[in-house]
Chains A and B, each alone.
Chain A
Amino acid sequence: MEKTADRLSAKAGWFDIIEVSGTGTPLLFKNNRLHSVTESQNSGFGVRVSVNGKTGFSYTNDAACLDETADRAVAMSEFGDAEDFDLPDKTGTPFEPYDKRIHAYDIKLEIGKAEDAITAILRKFPAANIDCRVTGSHGGMRIVNSKGIDQTYARSRYAAYLSAMLIHDDGSKIEVWEGTSALAPVPYESLKEKIMYKLAKALKNKKIPSGKVTVVVSPKALARIIGIVTAGLNAESVWKGISPFAGKIGEPCFSADLTICDEPDRSGSPYSYPFDGEGVSARKKFLVKQGGIEKFVTDLKYARKLNLLPEGNGQRPYSALPRPSFSNMVIGGGAEPYAGMLGNIKLGILADQFIGLGQSNTLTGDFSTGLDLAYLIENGEITGRVKDCMLSDNLFKLLAGEIAVSSDREPVGSVLAPYILFPQVNYTS
Chain B
Amino acid sequence: MAEIKQIVMPGDLISEELGKPRNGVYKNSDGRYCSSYFGIIQKNDQGVDVVPFSGKYIPRRGDKVIGKVLEVGPSMWPVDINSTYNTLLHMNDTPWRTTSGDIKRFLGVGDYVYAKIMTLNEIKESWITLKDVGLRKLEGGHITSIPAPKVPRIIGKGGSMVNMIKDATNTRIVVGQNGLIWIDGTPEDVIEAIAAISIVEQEAHTVGLTDRMEKYLKERSVK
* Chains A and B form a bound pair: no
